[in-house]
Structure 1
Amino acid sequence: MSTALARPLDGIRVVEFASFVAGPSAGMALAQLGAEVIRVDPIGGNADFKRWPLSVRSDESLYWNSLNRGKKSVSLNLRADAGRDLLLALATAPGPDAGIVVDNAVGRSWFSYEALAARRADVIAVRVEGRADGSAAVDYTVNGGSGVASLTGPADTDRPVNHILPAWDLLCGQEVVTAVLASLRRRDRTGQGAHVQIALSDVAMAAVANLGWFSEAAERGPRARHGNHLYGSFGTDFASSEGDRVMIVALTPRQWSAIGAATGTTEVLAALEKSLGADFNTDEGRYAHRELIEAVLRPWFAAHTTEQVHAGLSAAGVLWGPYKTTADVAAEFAEDPSAEPVLTAIDQPGIGEVISANAPARWDSEYSGTAPATDLGHDTDAVLSEVLGLDAPALARLREDGVIA
């Protein structure tokens, strides 16, 4: 977003005491909206400080530095009462736009909602949990229990297939953002604070239920997996003569017609449709006969180069997209940074130039911009001075006592 424009959360202060993906992704999203996000870690870093992937240039965590862009970093000795007291003070500092905390500090009674509310009655505390009963869970364990791993993967295996994307973590992070903003809106209207708990397992179960997948299973039994075929309509991947793959999808009659036009198979598909007594203009008609349709289309792709396939699909208006590796995307960005406009390059201290991203939402047609992550604890003195009013002698005493690094 242009620096000339005020971002929507300018002036809001959020204290983030969280690790891994859900909480930090929420903090990053709030920072991209303009909030001052202060991430607090133990001295030496939390459990995610050296999480893979690591940069080959410096052994620094690309993961940690990516999820903490645009935040301030404070590190405290949280084993000491004085360090805990400083964190509680930061989380409950006065001001109409402060007293907002995001954490996943399950099991830390000293950082409970009651401890926060005792210092500031209208505190907004949003906590990420594993499960609603307080037990531990992460994206990878939650995903298995949601049933999604039994739907993913090729048709010729009955083993569960995990997905690499921590989708539930990321979705949970956005639930946290929603909870923060809704709580802030209510506090502005009523003066009332908020105690919000969001369990990762609840996020996953709710998402799958809201897609109707549990209800489907209750009625029909378990859904058979079928690889890259789209469920409930027609869509699958094809290889060009050079072996590059594309995904095509038909969700509407117009999109279905475009596939026939692009591949020159309109008449063949119409004859197949007639012989089967099917209606390929419907989702169910295309889905029921997806393998036959795939067999009709496959020779056209195999007979054309990647460039010809891309051009032919685009010219006919087919809904399609290429398959790329992450290395492909990185190489294309290096050649043409405007190819994916949400991406941008920044200089990350300690690593060098890295590929970053703006917030996906464009305000007044402009992206948010991005900023590097600061070193662990970089802002400790400045934040404690600005927010808590600690002077140089007080900071020196904290340093001598090992409370700050």
Structure 2
Amino acid sequence: MTVRPLDGVRVVDLSSFVAGPTAGRMLAELGADVVRVDPVGGAVDGGRWPLTENGASLYWTGLNQAKRSVAVDLRSDEDRARVVELIADAGIVLENAAHAPWLAHDVLLAHRPDLIHVHIAGNADGTPAVDYTVNAAAGLPLMTGPAGLGTPVNHVLPAWDLLTGVHAALGIVTALRRREQTGAGAYLELALDDVAHAAVASMGWLAEAQARGSGRELQGNALYGSYGSEFATADGRYIMIVGLTRGQWRALVEVTGTEAVFDALGAQRGLDFDREGDRYAAREAITAILAPWFSERTLARIEADLAGTRVLWAPYRTMDEVAADLAARSDSVVQYIDQPDIGPVLTARSPLRWNGRYTDARPAPRHGQHTAEVLGAGQLPGAR
């Protein structure tokens, strides 16, 4: 039986970009009726890459799976009023509309006193920002890259958007529980830069920087404070090896036959390699000692040699390799769905497994597909 714990809950989603749609998708995957409202011409990010050969946005369909779609003229007072009615009926709204007056909380509250309203912003002060500007301002690109590079390195994953989406979904579920207990609604504001700053602070990075009086030095793919490094294989591949715990480190030493070498190195430098900090201090020497073992073996041989050991490792793979691997497995978090106007698409299910089972993914709607169904046929002059 499919688990849909949010059956009966309706959420009006007026968000664009990644964070808000991610929250809406998560809620829809849990059974909520998430109604996405967009302008008749399409969302501002409705054509964002990656695209199919015929120009359909895989980005948009991926982030809006399992929702319903309403398209109206958001510049029309009449259509705005109907959207407000929809919000009041649903009792939950998610938006990142930069404090549009008609979506102001006090305006909406007049129509639904127990409204749950989540507003997502770029910066906490209300100024605009996106994940990539937030990431730059949070200090991470100047911690990323090979030693001595001297220029920032951005990562490609919009991590703060995705985390903000998770926080927004959690906020809605929590506020819903509170409303069930007390009858009170909630106005929740969530900013990408707050999510980023909270994340780096929670890992101790801000306190560390204050104590040091400077930023952390660049160190390539080394694992800070412990041991981890990339290694080249005999067939031109790369793997990542991590010796985070004492057991993982000892397994790595044993399988590579380097016990005596590291015993001598530790004695020479006064280091105990069972300690994470000592492994980190000697990381360059450790990598130099281990590198020949990996460079003399193919990836297949390394996989065979490490099988059944406690060594923590993974190959570096291209995205097409990842897609092929996941698509070939019947037990993975991805599956094919029939996406309207696109056809079969490999996409994600919810990563939550209920009693050991994933729930099936559902396709994204066509733009405006449910306008008449949700708002009533013939009532919206701006609708398509």
Shorter-chain TM-score tier: over 0.9
Provide the C-alpha distance between the structure 2 equivalents of 1:132 and 1:299, rounded to a whole number of angstroms: 50
Say which is worse superposed, 224-233 or 321-330, in terms of deviation.
321-330
> Partner of 1:55 in structure 2?
52
Matched, 1:362 2:353: yes
- How far residue 353 of structure 1 moved from its aligned partner, in angstroms, is 1.3
Residues 291-310 of structure 1: matches in 2 within 5 Å? 291-310=284-303
Residues 4-403 of structure 1: matches in 2 within 5 Å? 4-56=1-53, 58-93=54-89, 98-220=90-212, 221-334=214-327, 336-338=328-330, 341-385=332-376, 395-398=377-380, 401=381, 403=382
Provide the C-alpha distance between the structure 1 equivalents of 2:132 and 2:362, rounded to a whole number of angstroms: 29
CA contact (8 A) 1:237 1:246 kept: yes
In structure 1, what residue type is equivalent to 2:347?
A: S
Provide the C-alpha distance between the structure 2 equivalents of 1:396 and 1:88, rounded to a whole number of angstroms: 18
Secondary structure of 1:248 counterpart: strand
Q: Deviations over 1:336-369 (max 9, x none)?
A: 233x611111111111211111111111111121
CA contact (8 A) 2:372 2:378 kept: no
Q: Deviations over 1:217-267 (max 9, x none)?
A: 111121101000000000011111001111111111110011011211122
- How far residue 375 of structure 1 moved from its aligned partner, in angstroms, is 0.4
Provide the C-alpha distance between the structure 2 equivalents of 1:204 and 1:45, rounded to a whole number of angstroms: 30
- How far residue 397 of structure 1 moved from its aligned partner, in angstroms, is 4.8
- How far residue 13 of structure 1 moved from its aligned partner, in angstroms, is 0.7
Q: Post-superposition, which runs of at least 4 consecutive aligned residues in structure 1 deviate over 4 A?
A: none
- How far residue 333 of structure 1 moved from its aligned partner, in angstroms, is 3.6
Secondary structure of 2:107 counterpart: helix
- How far residue 314 of structure 1 moved from its aligned partner, in angstroms, is 2.4
Secondary structure of 1:316 counterpart: coil
Count residues in correspondence.
383
Secondary structure of 2:230 counterpart: strand
Say which is worse superposed, 311-320 or 241-250, in terms of deviation.
311-320
In structure 1, what residue type is equivalent to 2:296?
A: A
Provide the C-alpha distance between the structure 2 equivalents of 1:326 and 1:347, rounded to a whole number of angstroms: 21
> Partner of 1:390 in structure 2?
none
Q: Deviations over 1:304-351 (max 9, x none)?
A: 1110111212232201111111111123345x233x611111111111
Q: Deviations over 1:144-168 (max 9, x none)?
A: 1101111111113111111100000
Provide the C-alpha distance between the structure 1 equivalents of 2:23 and 2:379, rounded to a whole number of angstroms: 34
Taking structure 1 as the reference length, what is the TM-score of the superposition?
0.93
Provide the C-alpha distance between the structure 2 equivalents of 1:219 and 1:152, rounded to a whole number of angstroms: 20
CA contact (8 A) 1:358 1:367 kept: yes
Secondary structure of 2:346 counterpart: strand
Secondary structure of 1:119 counterpart: coil
> Partner of 1:392 in structure 2?
none
Provide the C-alpha distance between the structure 1 equivalents of 2:326 and 2:245, rounded to a whole number of angstroms: 33
Secondary structure of 2:378 counterpart: helix
Secondary structure of 1:285 counterpart: helix
Provide the C-alpha distance between the structure 2 equivalents of 1:6 and 1:147, rounded to a whole number of angstroms: 40
In structure 2, what residue type is equivalent to 1:80?
A: S
CA contact (8 A) 2:2 2:359 kept: no
Q: Structure 2 stretches of 5 or more lacking a match?
A: none
Say which is worse superposed, 312-321 or 293-302, in terms of deviation.
312-321
Provide the C-alpha distance between the structure 1 equivalents of 2:82 and 2:157, rounded to a whole number of angstroms: 35
Provide the C-alpha distance between the structure 2 equivalents of 1:88 and 1:219, rounded to a whole number of angstroms: 50
In structure 2, what residue type is equivalent to 1:208?
A: V
CA contact (8 A) 1:92 1:116 kept: yes
CA contact (8 A) 2:8 2:33 kept: yes
Provide the C-alpha distance between the structure 1 equivalents of 2:217 and 2:131, rounded to a whole number of angstroms: 23
Say which is worse superposed, 189-198 or 313-322, in terms of deviation.
313-322
In structure 2, what residue type is equivalent to 1:67?
A: L
CA contact (8 A) 1:337 1:344 kept: no
In structure 2, what residue type is equivalent to 1:359?
A: S
Secondary structure of 2:168 counterpart: helix
- How far residue 208 of structure 1 moved from its aligned partner, in angstroms, is 0.7
CA contact (8 A) 1:74 1:376 kept: yes
Q: Structure 1 stretches of 5 or more lacking a match?
A: 386-394
Percent identical across equivalent pairs?
Answer: 48
In structure 2, what residue type is equivalent to 1:384?
A: L
Secondary structure of 1:66 counterpart: helix
Q: Deviations over 1:351-405 (max 9, x none)?
A: 12111111111111111210111100001111113xxxxxxxxx3253xx3x211
In structure 1, what residue type is equivalent to 2:383?
A: I
CA contact (8 A) 1:233 1:286 kept: yes
